Structure 1
Amino acid sequence: MKIKALATALCLFTLPFAASATDSLVEKTQQAQKVQAAHNAEREAGFKLTEKQVKAKLAALKVQRSQLQKETEQLSETFSNNETKLAQLEEQLRLETGSLGELFGVVRQAAKDLDAEMSFSVTSADRKAYHSVVEQIVDAKALPSMSQLNGLWLGMSDQITASSELRDVSVPYINGEGYQSDTQAYRLGSIGLIGEQGYLAWDGKRQVAKPYLKQPEGGPAYASLNGLVQSGLQTAVVDPSRGIMLEQLANSPELKDRLEHGGVVGKIILGLLAVGAIIALFRGVKLFVIRQQIKSQLKNPTKPGNNPLGRVLGVYDKEQNRSVEALELRLLETIVDEQQGLEKGLSMLKLLAALAPMLGLLGTVTGMIETFQVITQFGNGDPTVMAGGISMALVTTVLGLIAAMPLLLAHNMLSTQAETIRNILEKQGISLVAQQAEKAGNAA
């Protein structure tokens, strides 16, 4: 009971407090609802304003889209019209520029030829105008302009004028020792440059002049052309190929060069030829003198002289008291002795004539061996590396034949002379033996 009374008293005490708390909570809730309603109203107003703005912007964008669509349609129509017009213009341009394209090809080819002429010809030593214009036409990818065409025409005209001039010019010159200096030279049109020593080789790429290794016979020089300039008349050797023939002239070997190609074997063959020539000359002169002496002796047989026939006649004078057989043997002995003197040196000539072609063959084999060695080392791609051995092989063969033929001819001629003299001696000896036999028969 006490407990129930206590609880009842507690409830009576807390009831007023709970009622006041509930009122306070309701007021707070109402205030929050008011704040929430105000906030929602504010948000709705913002949303409505934003919706109006969005609708306005949407309407503006739709208007702009409509305008853009109209502009796009106009541009598309304009583009289509331009495409059609451009196709028509391109077709017209193709038709109208067809001949100009061919003309451009001709102009460009002419410009290339003129550029090569202006770059490497001797006229570039003092004529360099219009070169840049010609190079522009060569490198152009489109039709040349009128100024460029005019420059091409003027460049061609300038080259034609330069090809007819004899002009004194100063050119860079590299001598044989490699030193460069400026020298005076005459430019003979577009044919060549003529310096103090003769023609000069013009290097168009480096723009310098160099001497040729060999000058033509009777070629012009700088000093001689001064007379041509003053008098206006003078003959001169010219190279119409503009240096090609002069370069080949330096490559053509002389006799000395060909002999050097023969090597040691070639020198030996020439030595044999010289020895044989000396022997043949000496024996030829000797036999000629002997024949003249014999002719003189035949005119005066009663007085034997110091010659082969005189010595044969002298044997007859000494052997008149002997028998015919003894006289015949003595005469035969004398004739044999004279024959040995007459044929002296002829066997050497015959030996040299036989050795010369054999040495030529030796040089041929040696040259071919050298050629094969070069082929083994360097291959056969470059003919110049094989030229030395082949040249030696051919030159020695030629030298052997050249040496053998005159030696054989000399041997044959000298043998014929010696045989003729021996026949004369034998004939005179037989005549003396017959004369002695007649005297012995008469005495019996």
Structure 2
Amino acid sequence: MNYVVKLLCIGLLSLSFTASAQSELTKSAQTHNKEQATHNAQRESGFKLTEKEYLAQKKALEERKRKVQNQIDMLAKTFSKNEGELAKQEEKLRLDTGSLGELFGVVRQAAKELESENQTSVTGADSTQYSQAVTSIVAAKTLPTLPQLTDLWLSMNEQIQASAELKESEVKVIDGEGNIASQLAYRIGSIGLISEQGYLHWDGKRQDATYYSKQPENGPRLNSLSELSEGNVETMIVDPSRGFMLDQLALTPSLFERLQAGGVVGQIILTLLVIGLIIAIFRGSKLALVQQQIKKQLKTPETPTDNPLGRILSVYDEEKHRNVESLELRLLEAIVDEQQGLEKGLSMLKLLAALAPMLGLLGTVTGMIETFQVITQFGNGDPKVMAGGISMALVTTVLGLVAAMPLLFAHNILSTQAENVRSILEKQGIGLVAIQAEKQQAKSTVGNEI
């Protein structure tokens, strides 16, 4: 019975506890629902506000688009109207101007040519009174006025008169170091401008002058022009091309520059030429001295001296007691020894003469290889890029031929001189053998008679 009561009590307690828990959960759920409803209401109001703003912006943009479209339509109508009006005005201008349009073109062309003349001709150094008027005509977009046409005519007349003048004037001259100084120069019409050091290159755009890198030989100077104006000088070197020939003169290489274009191969060829000429001069003088000594020796054969023929005579004096065959061999040996001395250095001359053109051919091949390499790298559009290799190819060939010709000529002359000396020695040797043979024959004849 007590046990049942306890169970009932426990059941009642559990029921009361469950009811209270459910009540708390219900209150919590209701509170959460109220908060969620409030949050949702706030979000909905925000969404409604943003939608109103977007609608307002859309309405404003549509209004702006409508205004812009109206402006575009108005501008298109105005553009079409202006095009039509412009076409009418152009046709009216063409009818009104008539041949004046062609005249304007001719005037502008003449003004451009005159402006170019003022910038390039030396008359621009002191005859530029109307140059601004000419420039204004060139830059004009409308028909030239009568004063402008008058100035154009005066400018032409000014240049014509200046081309016939010999006049002194002060010009700005830039030297090789970049310094600018005013110098007195003498203008020969429109041909040239001459200072104390020769011709000047005039730059009309900068209004200054520079010296040409190379002046012509016996070219005019300021002093010579003063004498010319006084009538003391009858002739003078001038450049009728107005500077073009002087520019080409600067591009003409000198002999030293041509030799430098040969490169290392050219220097080797020149070295061989110098060595060959030294050998030729030395051996030529030696052979000439030997010939003089032999001529003197032929006059006094009984007194041998220190020369090839004298040494042959000495061998004869020493070996004349031998029989004819032995004496002939001794003399032949002496002649061969003298021949080696006479021909000393001639083989080297012949070798150098044969080697020079071969080196020239080597330089030619090397220069062409360099030229083809340049063509491979830069193409063949600019000949100046290939000039180095072509110069080396041509100069070395010329140097090889130039070096070979005098060496061959010297070798031929020296060989002839040595051959002449050898012939004299052989004749004298044969003569000595003949004398010895006659003596022995005479002795044998006398012995037989006895």
The TM-score with structure 1 as length reference comes to 0.75
For residues 324 and 407 of structure 2, the distance between their equivalents in structure 1, rounded to whole angstroms, comes to 42
- Tell me the amino acid that sits aligned with residue 214 of structure 1: K
2:168–2:184 Cα contact (<8 Å) kept: yes
Q: Secondary structure at the match of 2:185?
A: strand
Q: Secondary structure at the match of 2:371?
A: helix
For residues 140 and 305 of structure 2, the distance between their equivalents in structure 1, rounded to whole angstroms, comes to 102
Task: Tell me how far 1:149 sits from its aligned partner.
Answer: 2.5
Task: Tell me how far 1:176 sits from its aligned partner.
Answer: 0.7
- Tell me the amino acid that sits aligned with residue 296 of structure 1: K
- How does 1:32-51 map onto structure 2 within 5 Å? none
Partner in structure 2 of residue 412 of structure 1? 412
- Tell me the amino acid that sits aligned with residue 399 of structure 1: L
- Tell me the amino acid that sits aligned with residue 360 of structure 2: G
For residues 233 and 296 of structure 1, the distance between their equivalents in structure 2, rounded to whole angstroms, comes to 60
For residues 233 and 305 of structure 2, the distance between their equivalents in structure 1, rounded to whole angstroms, comes to 70
For residues 94 and 374 of structure 2, the distance between their equivalents in structure 1, rounded to whole angstroms, comes to 66
For residues 206 and 232 of structure 2, the distance between their equivalents in structure 1, rounded to whole angstroms, comes to 33
- Tell me the amino acid that sits aligned with residue 120 of structure 1: T
Partner in structure 2 of residue 321 of structure 1? 321
Task: Tell me how far 1:233 sits from its aligned partner.
Answer: 4.8
2:224–2:233 Cα contact (<8 Å) kept: no
Q: Secondary structure at the match of 1:303?
A: coil
For residues 250 and 205 of structure 1, the distance between their equivalents in structure 2, rounded to whole angstroms, comes to 22
- Tell me the amino acid that sits aligned with residue 404 of structure 1: A
Q: Deviations over 1:156-176 (max 9, x none)?
A: 111111112222211122111
Q: Deviations over 1:304-341 (max 9, x none)?
A: 22221122122222222210011101100110111011
2:266–2:360 Cα contact (<8 Å) kept: yes
Partner in structure 2 of residue 189 of structure 1? 189
1:275 lines up with 2:275 in the alignment: yes
Partner in structure 2 of residue 168 of structure 1? 168
More displaced stretch, 140-149 vs 323-332: 140-149
2:360–2:396 Cα contact (<8 Å) kept: yes
- How does 1:9-24 map onto structure 2 within 5 Å? none
Q: Deviations over 1:270-328 (max 9, x none)?
A: 11100100100111111111112222222332332222112212222222221001110
Task: Tell me how far 1:103 sits from its aligned partner.
Answer: 4.8
Partner in structure 2 of residue 291 of structure 1? 291
Structure 1 370/231 Cα, relative in aligned 2: closer, same or farther at 3 Å? same
For residues 441 and 267 of structure 1, the distance between their equivalents in structure 2, rounded to whole angstroms, comes to 65
More displaced stretch, 430-439 vs 292-301: 292-301
Task: Tell me how far 1:416 sits from its aligned partner.
Answer: 1.2
Total equivalences in the alignment: 355
Task: Tell me how far 1:392 sits from its aligned partner.
Answer: 1.0
For residues 141 and 392 of structure 1, the distance between their equivalents in structure 2, rounded to whole angstroms, comes to 55
For residues 115 and 371 of structure 1, the distance between their equivalents in structure 2, rounded to whole angstroms, comes to 42
Q: Deviations over 1:385-410 (max 9, x none)?
A: 11111111111111111111111111
For residues 313 and 437 of structure 2, the distance between their equivalents in structure 1, rounded to whole angstroms, comes to 16
Q: Deviations over 1:73-129 (max 9, x none)?
A: xxxxxxxxxx9xx99x987x68xx54x555554444332222211122111111111
- Tell me the amino acid that sits aligned with residue 421 of structure 2: I
For residues 396 and 172 of structure 1, the distance between their equivalents in structure 2, rounded to whole angstroms, comes to 44
For residues 407 and 234 of structure 1, the distance between their equivalents in structure 2, rounded to whole angstroms, comes to 47
- Tell me the amino acid that sits aligned with residue 343 of structure 1: E
Task: Tell me how far 1:229 sits from its aligned partner.
Answer: 4.0
Partner in structure 1 of residue 403 of structure 2? 403
- How does 1:234-273 map onto structure 2 within 5 Å? 234-273=234-273
Partner in structure 2 of residue 422 of structure 1? 422
Partner in structure 1 of residue 340 of structure 2? 340
Q: Deviations over 1:403-440 (max 9, x none)?
A: 11111111111111111111111111111111111111
1:127 lines up with 2:127 in the alignment: yes
- Tell me the amino acid that sits aligned with residue 125 of structure 1: A
Partner in structure 1 of residue 354 of structure 2? 354
Q: Secondary structure at the match of 2:352?
A: helix
Q: Secondary structure at the match of 2:169?
A: strand
More displaced stretch, 177-186 vs 101-110: 101-110
- How does 1:365-380 map onto structure 2 within 5 Å? 365-380=365-380
Q: Deviations over 1:320-365 (max 9, x none)?
A: 2210011101100110111011001111111111211121122122
Partner in structure 2 of residue 38 of structure 1? none
Q: Secondary structure at the match of 1:242?
A: coil
Partner in structure 1 of residue 155 of structure 2? 155
1:206 lines up with 2:195 in the alignment: no
Task: Tell me how far 1:137 sits from its aligned partner.
Answer: 3.2
- Tell me the amino acid that sits aligned with residue 437 of structure 1: A
Q: Secondary structure at the match of 1:220?
A: coil
Q: Secondary structure at the match of 1:144?
A: coil
Task: Tell me how far 1:148 sits from its aligned partner.
Answer: 2.4
Greater C-alpha radius of gyration = 1
For residues 290 and 230 of structure 2, the distance between their equivalents in structure 1, rounded to whole angstroms, comes to 66
- Tell me the amino acid that sits aligned with residue 201 of structure 2: A
Q: Secondary structure at the match of 1:440?
A: helix
Q: Secondary structure at the match of 1:171?
A: strand
Question: Unaligned regions of 5+ residues in structure 2, if any?
Answer: 1-87, 445-450
For residues 109 and 94 of structure 2, the distance between their equivalents in structure 1, rounded to whole angstroms, comes to 26
For residues 149 and 371 of structure 2, the distance between their equivalents in structure 1, rounded to whole angstroms, comes to 57
- Tell me the amino acid that sits aligned with residue 241 of structure 2: S
Give aligned-pair identity as a percent. Answer: 67
Q: Deviations over 1:244-285 (max 9, x none)?
A: 100100000010000011111111111110010010011111
Q: Secondary structure at the match of 1:238?
A: coil
- Tell me the amino acid that sits aligned with residue 318 of structure 2: K
Partner in structure 1 of residue 70 of structure 2? none
Q: Secondary structure at the match of 1:429?
A: helix
The TM-score with structure 2 as length reference comes to 0.74
Q: Secondary structure at the match of 1:172?
A: strand
Partner in structure 1 of residue 389 of structure 2? 389
Q: Secondary structure at the match of 2:253?
A: coil
2:174–2:208 Cα contact (<8 Å) kept: yes
Q: Secondary structure at the match of 2:304?
A: coil
For residues 130 and 201 of structure 1, the distance between their equivalents in structure 2, rounded to whole angstroms, comes to 22
Q: Secondary structure at the match of 1:420?
A: helix
Task: Tell me how far 1:232 sits from its aligned partner.
Answer: 7.0
For residues 177 and 387 of structure 1, the distance between their equivalents in structure 2, rounded to whole angstroms, comes to 28
Question: Unaligned regions of 5+ residues in structure 1, if any?
Answer: 1-82
More displaced stretch, 160-169 vs 252-261: 160-169
- Tell me the amino acid that sits aligned with residue 211 of structure 1: Y
